[in-house]
Amino acid sequence: MDGAVACCPLAVGAPRGYPPAMGIHDRDPSTWRVRDPGAHAHAVRAMFARISGVYDGMNRLLSFGLDGRWRAIAAGRLDRDVETVLDLCAGTGDLARACRAAGRGRVWLAADFTPEMLQRGRRRRGTDGLHWLAADGLCLPLRDDSVDAVVVGFGVRNLADVRAGLREIRRVLRAGGQLVVLDFFRDDPAAAGDARGAPAAVRTLVARLVPLAGRLVGRDHAAYSYLPGSASRFLTPAEFAALLQECGYDDVVLARLTCGVAHVVSAHSRQKM
Ligand SMILES: C[S@@+](CC[C@H](N)C(=O)[O-])C[C@H]1O[C@@H](n2cnc3c(N)ncnc32)[C@H](O)[C@@H]1O
């Protein structure tokens, strides 16, 4: 773990207090980078280390079991002929498992920069056959053009620098390789079609219910306030689609899940020069 992370400048942030002020997750809308990448990465890793024991159960509870369905839809978006699939920000490996269950891929790598999440994943039933990789998504210890597809479930929103993350993913993807992202995006009330978010009443419910359940069940109010807070600081689906094109991806397709609560975005890496 340390070797993989140590190569990345984002890993060297001075330790800060926890819980973090939400301000350290604020993004500059001209770059989509957080203002202090070191502090952000440190806080995100500390947060997932703390909740690693309850993470999977809380997902089921907070999404009323829908998270499994969302991952199955995301996995089903992968091209049928992909061989090597990298699940980035894999946590305990749920999305890699969904890819395997959907018959997408033959080799699955599950990469994450929080050792506690990876350890939890390794111990879970049904994750044998997955290859676990301790690595920062902004500085992957993988060769150029080495994977056919990258899937990221609820992870892109955590990257300190979204543009740098998309470029790093493209570096390891072979030309024509596929990226599938499942996440919660910022709402754009003016958006149409699949770029639309959830109705205001649903968003308000999520913003209130998730931190409350996090405090009562997960015993970590700050961590579960981070979810709605980070989504509201993230890109809208349309902004994310535009950023993908800017970062070298084509065939961008957005799909709205459960009334726009979540979105799945698929794209292919453009030919590299
Ligand atoms: C919300 S969890 C998602 C886990 C899993 N993909 C899922 O579908 O449930 C986000 C994960 O991203 C990881 N993460 C955040 N930033 C990362 C980075 N820069 N590099 C690698 N992993 C990162 C966290 O450690 C955490 O395990």
Residue type at position 226: Y
pLDDT band for position 22 (cuts 50, 70, 90): low
Per the domain annotation, does 1 fall within a domain? no
Range of 220's domain? Answer: 23-269
pLDDT tens per residue, range 153-164 = 999 999 999 999
Per the domain annotation, does 59 fall within a domain? yes
How far, in Å, is the centroid of ligand 1 from the Cα of 53?
14
Closest by alpha carbon to 149, among 109, 190, 98?
109
5 pocket-lining for ligand 1 (C-beta < 6 Å): no
How far, in Å, is the centroid of ligand 1 from the Cα of 7?
18
Looking at ligand 1, which atom is closest to the CA of residue 117? 27
Residue 91 pLDDT exceeds 50: yes
pLDDT tens per residue, range 48-73 = 999 999 999 888 888 888 999 999 99
159 pocket-lining for ligand 1 (C-beta < 6 Å): yes
Per the domain annotation, does 10 fall within a domain? no
114 pocket-lining for ligand 1 (C-beta < 6 Å): yes
Hunting for tokens 């990345």 — which residue is that?
8
CATH number at residue 56: 3.40.50.150
Nearest CA to ligand 1 atom 15: 158
CA distance 14 to 18: 13
CA distance 116 to 24: 23
* Cα separation values, 198 from 7, 168, 180, 191, 238, Å: 39, 30, 21, 11, 14
Per the domain annotation, does 12 fall within a domain? no
Per the domain annotation, does 6 fall within a domain? no
pLDDT at 156: 97
Q: Which of 25, 33, 113, 230 to mutate to test the pocket of ligand 1 (most atoms within 8 A of CB)?
A: 113
Looking at ligand 1, which atom is closest to the CA of residue 165? 19
Per the domain annotation, does 18 fall within a domain? no
pLDDT tens per residue, range 113-144 = 999 999 999 998 878 889 999 999 999 999 99
User: Dihedral of the CA atoms 70, 73, 74, 77 (nearest 10)?
Assistant: -170
Distance from chain centroid for Cα 43: 16
**Domain count of the fold of the chain:** 1
Looking at ligand 1, which atom is closest to the CA of residue 152? 6
The burial of 267, by beta-carbon neighbours within 10 Å (0-12 exposed, 13-18 middle, 19 or more buried), is given as buried
pLDDT at 20: 39
CA distance 246 to 164: 12
Per the domain annotation, does 2 fall within a domain? no
Per the domain annotation, does 114 fall within a domain? yes
Residue 47 pLDDT exceeds 60: yes
Nearest CA to ligand 1 atom 14: 89
Report which of residues 213 and 100 the model is more confident about. Answer: 100
How far, in Å, is the centroid of ligand 1 from the Cα of 216?
23
Contacts of 55 (CB under 8 A, 6+ apart): 48, 91, 92, 117, 120
136 pocket-lining for ligand 1 (C-beta < 6 Å): yes
90 pocket-lining for ligand 1 (C-beta < 6 Å): yes
pLDDT band for position 18 (cuts 50, 70, 90): very low
How far, in Å, is the centroid of ligand 1 from the Cα of 151?
11
CA distance 156 to 90: 11
One-character DSSP codes across 75-116: HHTS-TT--EEEEET-TTTHHHHHHHHTT--SEEEEEES-HH
How far, in Å, is the centroid of ligand 1 from the Cα of 48?
8
